Structure 1
Amino acid sequence: MSELPSAEQIFASLPDALLLIDEDHHIGQVNPVAENFLQTSSKRLVGRKIGDFISFVDERLTNALEDCDANLAARNVPITIRDTHSAMVNFEIHAITSNEDWRLVSIAPLPVDGAAIGEREDQPHQFSIRAPDILGHEIKNPLAAIKGAAQLLNRGLSEDQKPLADMIQAEVKRITTLLDRMQSLSTNQPAQIEPVNIHSLVDEARKSIETAQNGAIKIREWFDPSLPDVLIDRDAMMQILINLLSNAVEATRGMDDPHIEVMTRYSFGAALQTKGSDQAIKLPVELIVKDNGPGVDPEIESEIFSPFVTTKNEGQGLGLALVRKLIGDMNGRIRHERDALTGHTQFMLFLPVAEKGQ
């Protein structure tokens, strides 16, 4: 297996502008999206106060930015950048649970007339070597070697062994596609949506996870066979399913009787109201992933889709942030519920359907 990307590499690949600030509001680290958004290099940002670069019309947000204990999320708020131009953004502040001296500021620019705010035609884009580019260079080469080795092995395998080699090749292709997608995350590239049978995709993800666990765990499927195809990005949805199922495996590890289930059903009334449109997108297909593990810690429950929020000793706290981004790109939605009695957590995906003829 290839070496996992570091937290710093994934930090650099996330699509929102991210700034780590200390208790005195000084910037300690930024990702390339923040450099582009603030139109300033990291060398000039690090060590300066965040208030030197951004300010708010709403004084309450300014106060929260200067409050070391503040955690907040604000939607559709105006922001001034370097006293030169303004933008509408979603703005969040999160405490770093493992280090109280630092906080994470997340700024997601909202589009205006189809263009990303903060990008002006009269100014050239700054060039920076992003972590996804490094990942693409360092990981794609060994992936190609793995794929080639699997193809060679496939020639000498028995018929009952060939599906394993085929799975290796399929997973290499999926990871390569994911790397390509990560390299373009910061450009908000549209999802490649198409009609997909969600049940066949879940079955692929289940087989991949069970094979990776050497058959030590079985994932139950409860499908509504009458559901139509969904309109999704196939590779992105596979990544979402792999992430959620892997989390479920981790949550039930060491249990005497682990239960992981995937269910599909028709969801009445679920819809997405998109900005700038009077028509809501109906999301009638619901996919549920649940397990009988201990569930999400109540202390971080409200922040589990935010970057760097995790209770895992070796976790990066980035998986669910990427899941939320990928599902949003497909005009879908994700939410979670925690059973008050058992503490078990389930994740629900709400997906649009493909119209007949698509």
Structure 2
Amino acid sequence: MAVGPAPPSRQGREQPSLADIVTAYPVATLVVDPDNRIANANVRAETLLNMARSAIVGSDITRTIRMADVQGRFDIWHTDKPLSAYDVQVHAGRTAAMEVDLMVAPIPDHEGWRVVSIHVQSEAQKIAQRRTAGGTRSAMGAAAILAHEIKNPLSGIRGAAQLLESENDAGASTLTQLICNEVDRIAALIDRMQDFTTDRPLTCGPENIYPLIDRAARLASAGFGQNIKITKRYDPSLPFAIINDDALVQVMINLLKNAAEALEGVEKPQVRIVTAFRHGVSVMMGSGKGNAVLPIEILVIDNGPGVPENIRDHLFNPFITGKRDGQGLGLALVDKLVRDMNGFVQHMRDDDAGETTFRILLPMGMG
């Protein structure tokens, strides 16, 4: 792919070319042509592969980055879609086998050309594809022990709400019905938590996510988020997602509560809920399962100070929290429920914008 000289900038200095940018990029980066030949490699790639650039350029990407998963090799090197492969085992260049994240991005207006970045320190440790299930199971085991004690007062709360509703107060009726619905949902969730250690699959089907997001936002605004401005920006053309209703409501409540707690002391606390359809977003599932296509995106964005840097890599692990009185189970449960729906959850921090984002990706259903 030929890259011509860039026009001079307004300051009279020559703008960097694409080749210059690739060379300076602080992550091992390869430019691959439509025939799967490596057309360019930066210094970080030379170091990672333990090969000179002259040996890398012109080589076949499928031989230079050899996938341990045969199915994964086809998924990654023979697709024209953006692809993220997390925690994959590769034999790279002249180095020993290693675990990496691979990001493949097509170059717009250049059919078949791609940029491949190789991240040695796995980003999947920072997001939802955690495979250390022991800690999660211990947390859920503790939750199961508490379940019996929690369900008893729930039944009393429901009974009290029904008595209030029988007084025929039209204004109270909506709120008491909300209490009954939430008690039923929490009771069902506790039942579910009691067998989290069994890996029993969630019952999922194609559903409209918007009533469920709205329900979680209403609950937040009526309780822990009543002093926070919650705004929503929805993609009106979004198709149904394959989800479990109660699980998605719980995920959204946990994320909104997490945001509300992070916004304590912030002068103008705000939370944005944004949805979008992301064409071509795929995640490598591993274990020979190939790709998961997850185009349904839900973002929960807050303008709080963010998660302490020392726990960001372990944010979704149980009992990890930056809050003085927190238990560290809310995000662990988010991770568990999203994975049970065959989805993906990711934490991102933009210090320049002063925003923290939790990103959920879900499979698409028909509807």
Structure-2 residue corresponding to 1:153:
164
Secondary structure of 1:202 counterpart: helix
Give the whole-Å Cα distance in 2 for the aligned partners of 1:153 and 1:242: 25
Matched, 1:143 2:168: no
Shift of 1:237: 1.2
Matched, 1:203 2:228: no
Matched, 1:280 2:291: yes
**Which amino acid is 2:208 matched to?**
N
Match of residue 332, structure 1, among 327, 343, 346: 343
Shift of 1:318: 2.1
Shift of 1:108: 3.1
Name the CA shift for 1:138/1:345 in 2 (closer, same or farther; >3 Å): same
Are the equivalent residues in 1 in contact too, given 2:242–2:363 (CA < 8 A)? yes
Name the CA shift for 1:288/1:209 in 2 (closer, same or farther; >3 Å): same
Name the CA shift for 1:107/1:337 in 2 (closer, same or farther; >3 Å): closer
Structure-1 residue corresponding to 2:13:
none
Structure-2 residue corresponding to 1:108:
133
**Which amino acid is 1:160 matched to?**
G
> Normalization by structure 2: what TM-score?
0.60
> Normalization by structure 1: what TM-score?
0.61
Q: Give 5+ residue unaligned stretches, structure 1.
A: 1-73, 78-105, 110-129
Are the equivalent residues in 2 in contact too, given 1:135–1:179 (CA < 8 A)? no
Q: Where does 1:184-333 land on structure 2 (aligned, <5 Å)?
A: 184-213=195-224, 215-277=226-288, 279-333=290-344
Name the CA shift for 1:354/1:165 in 2 (closer, same or farther; >3 Å): same
Deviations 1:179-201 (A, max 9, x none): 11110100001011022211110
Shift of 1:279: 4.6
**Which amino acid is 2:205 matched to?**
E
* Identity score, percent: 43
Secondary structure of 2:310 counterpart: coil
Are the equivalent residues in 1 in contact too, given 2:225–2:260 (CA < 8 A)? no
Q: Where does 1:85-124 land on structure 2 (aligned, <5 Å)?
A: 107-108=132-133
Deviations 1:209-251 (A, max 9, x none): 1111483233111111110111111111111111100011111
With a CA cutoff of 8 Å and minimum separation of 6, indicate the structure with the bigger relative contact order. 2
Name the CA shift for 1:292/1:107 in 2 (closer, same or farther; >3 Å): closer
Are the equivalent residues in 1 in contact too, given 2:284–2:291 (CA < 8 A)? yes
Match of residue 166, structure 1, among 164, 167, 177: 177
Shift of 1:347: 0.6
Shift of 1:170: 1.1
Shift of 1:149: 1.1
- The number of residue pairs the alignment matches comes to 236
Are the equivalent residues in 1 in contact too, given 2:164–2:172 (CA < 8 A)? no
Structure-1 residue corresponding to 2:36:
none
Give the whole-Å Cα distance in 1 for the aligned partners of 2:88 and 2:283: 17
**Which amino acid is 1:233 matched to?**
N
Structure-2 residue corresponding to 1:13:
none
Matched, 1:175 2:189: no
Shift of 1:208: 0.6
